Amino acid sequence: QVQLVQSGAEVKKPGASVKVSCKASGNTFSNYYVHWVRQAPGQGLEWMGVMYPSGVDTNYAQNFQGKVTLSRDTSASTVYMEVSSLRSEDAAVYYCATEVPYTGWFDPWGQGTLVTVSS
Amino acid sequence: QSALTQPASVSGSPGQSITISCTGTSSDVGGHNFVSWYQQHPGKAPKVVIYDVTKRPSGVSNRFSGSKSGNTASLTISGLQAEDEGDYYCCSYGGRSNYVFGTGTKVAVL
């Protein structure tokens, strides 16, 4: 089964962008959907979007369209999630999680990446 | 797409059973069987405990069970144990390749 390791915590200024990585071990992402989920401090989980096995096809939640960009490296071992024009409301823990295609559930999850937005 | 509605908190004594509800619409919970439940302990990543409404992943205790009626899904934890304390989130496929999570429920073991 694939295991996921995310990049470390980031501190960014308002207006900047942040790019979080999610690296697979034990398999590649060419066999999985890769979802991203946001959790603001003290808040619930919010589904952001998904990268499909093609490495090109994506789908974003309406709230994140134009705000978030998903990409993948050519080896299919790392997926990236970039959040642009950071605002204080974007401060959160961001998780990646995999889905075996057409199964509808997320497992496993990465450990999460804390993004702090501060001037 | 609006978050699914869950009670903010549910509590029970050790050994008791508790049920957490997750109410959506015919476009999500009521229209699909891709309903899953996640347990999250403080500072940790979520972990799936139920998928496809009623199924348990390998390694998850059989004290966890799921069901659905109409637009409402439910998670029942029987024989409540201290280790069950944490936050629980439902998640449903919402059509058009979208997913939606519930508002979350904090479970306390008294």
Q: How far apart are CA B26 and CA A2, in angstroms?
A: 33
Look at residue B35 in the predicted model and tell me its pLDDT.
98
List, for residues A52-80, the tens digit of each pLDDT value.
Answer: 999 999 999 999 999 999 999 989 999 99
Q: How far apart are CA A33 and CA B73, in angstroms?
A: 24
- Contacts with A79 (C-beta within 8 Å, 6 or more apart), sequence order: A21, A22, A24, A29, A34, A51, A70, A71, A72, A96
The mean pLDDT value for A96-114 works out to 96
* Residue B1 in this model has a pLDDT that exceeds 90: no
Query: A2 Cβ partners below 8 Å, 6+ apart?
Result: A24, A25, A26, A27, A28, A29, A32, A98, A108
In the numeric block, the tokens 């009670």 are attached to B7
A103 chain-B contacts, CB cut-off 8 A: 34, 51-52
How much of chain A, in percent, has pLDDT values that exceed 90?
95
Q: For A2-118, where are the E strands, in sequence order?
A: 3-6, 10-12, 18-25, 33-39, 45-51, 58-60, 68-72, 78-83, 92-99, 113-117
A47, A62, A111: residue with CB nearest B99: A47
For chain A, the residues whose C-beta falls within 8 A of a C-beta of chain B are: 35, 37, 44-47, 50, 59, 61-62, 95, 97, 103-107, 109-112
Within 35-94 of B, beta carbons closer than 8 Å to A belong to 35-36, 38, 40, 45-48, 51-52, 57, 87, 89, 91, 93
Helices (H), B16-92: none
pLDDT, mean of residues A3-21: 98
| Cα nearest neighbour of B5 on chain A | A44
Tell me: pLDDT of A16 over 90: yes
Give the whole-angstrom CA distance, residue A3 versus residue A44: 23
Per-residue pLDDT, B66: 98
The residue type found at A19 is: K
- Determine contact, residues B54/B67, Cβ cutoff 8 Å: yes
Does residue A54 come out as left (phi exceeding 0), alpha (psi in the -120 to 50 range) or beta? alpha
Please give the Cα distance from A109 to A85 (Å, whole number): 26
Edge-to-edge strand order for the sheet containing A78-83?
A: A3-6, A18-25, A78-83, A68-72
**A44·B93 Cβ contact <8 A:** no
Mean pLDDT of A89-117: 97
Inter-chain Cβ pairs, chain A and chain B, closer than 8 A? 67
Q: For position A1, what pLDDT does the model report?
A: 82
Cβ neighbours of A59 in B, within 8 Å: 96-98
3-class DSSP state of A19: strand
Of B16, B7, B2, the C-alpha closest to B74 is B7
User: CA angle B40-B56-A57, nearest 5°?
Assistant: 70
Q: Which residues pair with B75 in a beta bridge?
A: B20, B66
pLDDT tens, B50-107? 999 999 999 999 999 999 999 999 999 999 999 999 999 999 999 999 999 999 999 9
Backbone torsion region of residue B96, taken as left when φ is above 0, otherwise alpha when ψ lies between -120 and 50, otherwise beta: left
